[in-house]
């Protein structure tokens, strides 16, 4: 009776264990995210799904002004050095990941987007927004403010100098002769 019961439990658990990976539906582990990046910087898009089985396929496509490129995972990487573009696949345990990396953003890359299409899941999209280099703007603003403050400082010093010489002149007025005063004002 006990052995029968044990056999039942064994049979049930083996069936359950066998069924867990099969019945676990494919789902996103990493949904590609929008990237906002400065001109000249790198941008990376990721798309991950789990669990990775023999049937798992991920089509990760990048849509650029120069053209559209796809990596199919699992599969061969795609490298376009002239465009600083790299697409590849990674397997991390149960997870299958597709990656697109753009080495140097240019203004033309603004609006580039990726589409991740795993078989059996709805596609996911993410966009690249290229920003004007913020350090360039910081430098520009710094120069404008610095220049303005500099001009104010020069005017302030000139004004102070004038007041001081005036006070100096008034101070001297009582004690010095007209000759001395005229030489001072000439200077
Ligand atoms: C990503 O960007 C697109 C287009 O700019 C926008 O429609 C979408 O809502 C953004 N998604 C997220 C998660 O911010
Ligand atoms: C890239 O794909 C988009 C959307 O399907 C299409 O409109 C565009 O013409 C394609 N570009 C090239 C260069 O094939
Ligand atoms: C990129 O596009 C966004 C809106 O689509 C715009 O606000 C931004 O100024 C653009 N960046 C460049 C560098 O043109």
Cβ < 6 A, ligand 1 pocket: 34, 127
Cβ < 6 A, ligand 2 pocket: 63, 67-68
- Are residues 48 and 41 in contact, defined by beta-carbon separation less than 8 angstroms? no
From the list 32, 184, 11, 185, the residue with the least C-alpha distance to 98 is: 32
- Ligand 2, atom nearest to 66 Cα: 13
Centroid of ligand 2 to alpha carbon of 106 (angstroms): 19
Q: Which of 65, 130, 133 to mutate to test the pocket of ligand 3 (most atoms within 8 A of CB)?
A: 130
Is the CB–ligand 3 distance for residue 132 below 6 Å?
yes
Query: What pTM, to 2 d.p., does this model score?
Result: 0.67
Report which protein residue has its CA nearest ligand 2's atom 12. 67
Label each residue of 58-87 as H, E or C.
EEEEEECCCCEEEEEECCCCEEEHHHCEEE
- Are residues 114 and 62 in contact, defined by beta-carbon separation less than 8 angstroms? yes
* DSSP per residue, 95-160: EEEEEEEESS--GGGTT-EEEEEETTS--EEEEEEEEPPHHHHHHHHHHHHHHHHHHHHHHHHHHH
Mean pLDDT of 64-79: 94
Q: Which H helix or E strand runs over 28? A: strand 27-30
Instruction: Output the six-digit token pair for 168.
Output: 């100096």
From the list 37, 138, 42, 51, the residue with the least C-alpha distance to 94 is: 51
pLDDT in tens, 84-103: 999 999 999 999 999 999 99
Whether residue 15 is predicted with pLDDT greater than 50 in this model: the reply is no
- Are residues 97 and 50 in contact, defined by beta-carbon separation less than 8 angstroms? no
pLDDT in tens, 122-144: 999 999 999 987 565 566 556 56
Radius of gyration of the chain (CA): 36
């Amino acid at each position: 009776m006990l052995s029968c019961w044990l056999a039942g439990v064994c049979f049930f658990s083996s069936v359950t264990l066998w069924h867990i990976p099969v019945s676990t539906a494919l789902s996103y582990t990493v949904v590609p995210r929008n990237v906002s990046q400065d001109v000249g910087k790198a941008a990376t898009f990721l798309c991950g799904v789990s669990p990775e089985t023999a049937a798992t396929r991920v089509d990760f496509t990048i849509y650029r002004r120069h053209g559209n490129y796809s990596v199919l995972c699992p599969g061969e990487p795609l490298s376009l050095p002239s465009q600083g573009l790299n697409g590849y696949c990674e397997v991390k345990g149960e997870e299958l990941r597709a990656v697109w990396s753009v080495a140097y953003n240019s203004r033309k890359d603004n609006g580039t987007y990726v589409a991740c299409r795993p078989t059996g899941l709805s596609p996911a999209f993410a966009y690249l927004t290229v920003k004007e280099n913020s350090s360039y703007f910081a430098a520009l603003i710094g120069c404008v403010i610095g220049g303005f403050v500099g001009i104010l400082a020069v005017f302030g010093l000139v004004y102070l100098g004038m007041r001081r010489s005036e006070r100096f002149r008034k101070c001297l007025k009582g004690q010095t002769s007209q000759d001395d005063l005229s030489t001072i004002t000439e200077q």
